[in-house]
A and B are shown apart, each in its own frame.
Chain A
């Protein structure tokens, strides 16, 4: 991956962590000292390379995996802040990416009973829960939002 793309990606992720949400084009533009068109072009290349995910209009961040730009059923509190994650895997991924302990607030996808899990030293507090992945790995990126 080109260095300019790595820089843009790094800045985008840093803003996501700092803001607790996806950066806008204007925020990313200010961070990297490029034009809005240059940022959007870069984001589109990163999207094609699966380094982040844009929305359907290809004009705003939808995912900077494991972080989600839209509210989801997976809220992660860590390091005194909180973020939405894209799925259960990504919820643990937020703690992993930040390198800190945290707490995941979600619900059983079947009965909707709330689930609150603390993650300490990479280990979940509730060890009885099960994770189900419906889509096989070969098709994860066919529709990453559904996956």
Chain B
């Protein structure tokens, strides 16, 4: 889970491997703030699969790649 300067840099880094998913860093920041915001809360409880999938869905991260295990 890395950052890159451009699509060309991702292609170079992959060295022919099957690509995963690429999103803008702005979307990544949104995702991180939704995913981790409660991590230090005294009221923290483990997220359910459904809660985490809902975060991904809400941000438009849909499709087979973003499907958490059932």
Tell me whether A135 is interfacial, beta carbon within 8 Å: yes
In this complex, how many residues of chain B approach chain A with their Cβ under 8 Å: the count is: 45
Collect the chain B residues with CB atoms within 8 Å of residue A134's CB: 1, 14, 17, 19-20
Task: Return the CB mask of A22-55 against B: 1 if under 8 Å, else 0.
Answer: 0000000000000000000000000001110000
Residues from 111 to 137 in A contacting B, C-beta threshold 8 Å: 111, 113, 115, 117, 119, 122-124, 126-137
Contact B1 A108 (CB under 8 A): no
B22: Cβ under 8 A from any A Cβ: yes
Given A1-B45, A10-B42, A110-B12, A93–B36 Cβ distance below 8 Å? yes
Q: Identify whether the interface residues of A are mostly helix, strand, loop, or mixed.
A: mixed
Task: Return 28 A-B CB contacts under 8 Å, by A number.
Answer: A13-B39, A13-B40, A66-B39, A88-B1, A89-B1, A90-B32, A92-B33, A96-B34, A97-B40, A108-B4, A108-B9, A109-B9, A111-B5, A123-B29, A126-B25, A129-B3, A129-B25, A130-B7, A130-B9, A130-B24, A131-B25, A132-B1, A132-B20, A133-B1, A133-B23, A134-B17, A138-B67, A138-B69
